[in-house]
Amino acid sequence: MVRTPRLTAREKAFLIPGIVALGLLLGNQFIAKPMRERLSTVTRVVESKDKTLRQLKEMGIELKTLRSEVIRIHREIEAQPDKGRVLALLERIQEEQGLSSHVIHMRPSGAALGKRYEETTIEIKLDAVTLEQLLGFLEKLADLNLAIGVKWLEIKHTTDTSGSLLEATLKVSTISPAT
């Protein structure tokens, strides 16, 4: 049988704190340090995911707002008059502003916007009009409270002697349900 040597009290006084210190060092190296690193990683991941969650909530609110806006726009478009009524409205405004005799042409054209809607663009060319007449026409157009707008406007001076008359070409556009 192997006999183990007995340690003296002095040896025990040095050996026991050494073993405890070695145990604490190994425990720190292989248990506590990896746990702290893992906890730090988890904390960073949680903060990152929390930030992402906040962004998703903000995007959700924005999405709801945009959806309600799209629904409102669809309702407005569904309530729009057809191409013939838009032409009639424009002619009525021209008469009110005294522009009927100044109209060179009104050319409607249409384009499909997907399956549900179509865009109607009407090119209007006016000759020998005053700035006040043109502005009155544009103001009345804006007062229609329809999904109608001026896509393009070109204004030139005419070659008259006074220089106060204008030649204007504008494209008025509206969106309506497809027919």
Are residues 117 and 177 in contact, defined by beta-carbon separation less than 8 angstroms?
Answer: yes
For residues 55 and 126, membership in a common domain is answered with no
For residues 19 and 69, membership in a common domain is answered with yes
The burial of 174, by beta-carbon neighbours within 10 Å (0-12 exposed, 13-18 middle, 19 or more buried), is given as: buried
Question: Per residue in 6-64, pLDDT tens?
Answer: 888 888 888 889 999 999 999 889 999 999 999 999 999 999 999 999 999 999 999 99
pTM of the model: 0.59
Is 123 inside a domain boundary? yes
Question: Per residue in 95-132, pLDDT tens?
Answer: 988 899 999 999 998 888 888 888 889 999 999 898 99
Is 5 inside a domain boundary? no
What range does the domain containing 42 cover? 10-79
For residues 106 and 63, membership in a common domain is answered with no
For residues 24 and 98, membership in a common domain is answered with no
Tokens of 8: 């003296």
For residues 93 and 167, membership in a common domain is answered with yes
